[in-house]
Copies of this chain bind each other. A is one copy, B any other.
């Protein structure tokens, strides 16, 4: 397939490489051009602009780190609305808010283009291995046209239905559940530490019991080892995720009390200088509030 790819950060690079490996023809664009060099070495063509990366493509994939970036790419001067061919697809793989997705989907619709929400689950190493999971949301026909893309980058797709906003809410809820699980683990570790339990013993229970799963195993280990410099997602970006969840929930009148607790610990961690640590550092913030540090 002829694919344009916008956003070659850590996640994007892994995904783009998988697409090249599977034989797709890739043109890549990044605001910071140097970040496309390894992809060019791997066989991609570097684009000089959004218009350039979009021209003549069947699909343009964006993997962007924020809502402002997405709006700029789509709605900005010389953005996708202006440059993507009619009936072509913009597949949005980043984690975005429901409001911006609604706005972008509407704009693509007016322009005769097709928006597909395809937020991905997994971290950079998973992306590099082509083993992400993808939540797909959009017109069934468009999702089908993207089949070979999903095969290249993921181990499987989850059905987010025909509504891009619904699929977006699933990804937001996924991150929300993860954040709440980390927060609860932090509370649990503080509790047992105060009773003299070795964190490694509590971790073993988590990882060989009813919680045994990547979410608990990975973050339980980070918390047990207090290894917050092993950064998967920073606390500041975690706070962005928490706010996405709380905003999405407010928009449909859903209170998220566990989300509030999680957000407060993220804010507290940032207040104590841990904004650039892994977001599991909420466990340290919890420990602080328990008089443990």
Q: How far apart are the CA atoms of A250 and B271 in the complex, in Å?
A: 9
Q: Which residues of B contact A190 (CB under 8 A)?
A: 254
The smallest C-beta distance from A176 to any residue of chain B, in angstroms, reads: 6
Interface pair A197/B166, CB less than 8 Å apart? yes
Residue A48 CB within 8 A of the other chain: no
A161 at the B interface (CB under 8 A): yes
Known: A253-B270, A253-B291, A264-B260. A184 touches B194 (CB 8 A): no
User: CB distance B258 to A258 under 8 Å?
Assistant: yes
Residues of B within 8 A of A98 (CB): 195
Interface of A is mostly: helix
Q: Which residue of B has the minimal Cβ distance to A189?
A: B173
A245: chain B residues at CB < 8 Å are 191
Q: Are A187's CB and B289's CB within 8 A?
A: no
Binary flags per residue of A167-205, CB closer than 8 Å to B gives 1, else 0:
011101110111011011101101110111110011011
Question: How many residues of chain A have a CB within 8 Å of chain B?
Answer: 79
Which of A156, A213, A258, A259 lies at the interface centre, i.e. has the most chain B CB atoms within 10 A of its CB? Answer: A258
- A158 CB contact (under 8 Å) in B181, B185, B194, B204: B204
**Cβ B169 vs Cβ A176 within 8 A:** no
Once the chains bind, are B205 and A215 in contact (CB under 8 Å)? no
Contacts of A263 in B (CB 8 A): 255, 260
Known interface pairs A192-B170, A209-B121. Does A255 touch B289 (Cβ–Cβ under 8 Å)? yes
Does A37 belong to the interface (CB within 8 Å)? Answer: no
Mark A211-227 against chain B: 1 for CB-CB distance below 8 A, else 0. Answer: 11111100000000000
> Shortest beta-carbon distance, A50 to chain B, in Å?
27
Q: Is the CB of A258 within 8 A of B261?
A: yes
Q: Which residue of B lies closest to A196 (CB)?
A: B166
* Contact across chains for A210 and B205 when beta carbons are under 8 A apart: no
A226-274 interface with B by 8 A CB criterion: 239, 245, 248-250, 252-265, 267-268, 270-273
Q: How far, in whole Å, are A257 and B195 apart by their CA atoms in the complex?
A: 18
| A178 lies within 8 A of B210 (CB) | yes
Cβ of A7 within 8 Å of any chain B Cβ, yes or no, is no
The residues of A with any CB-CB pair to B shorter than 8 Å are: 98, 121, 133, 135, 156, 158-161, 163, 165-166, 168-170, 172-174, 176-178, 180-181, 183-185, 187-188, 190-192, 194-198, 201-202, 204-206, 208-216, 239, 245, 248-250, 252-265, 267-268, 270-273, 288-291
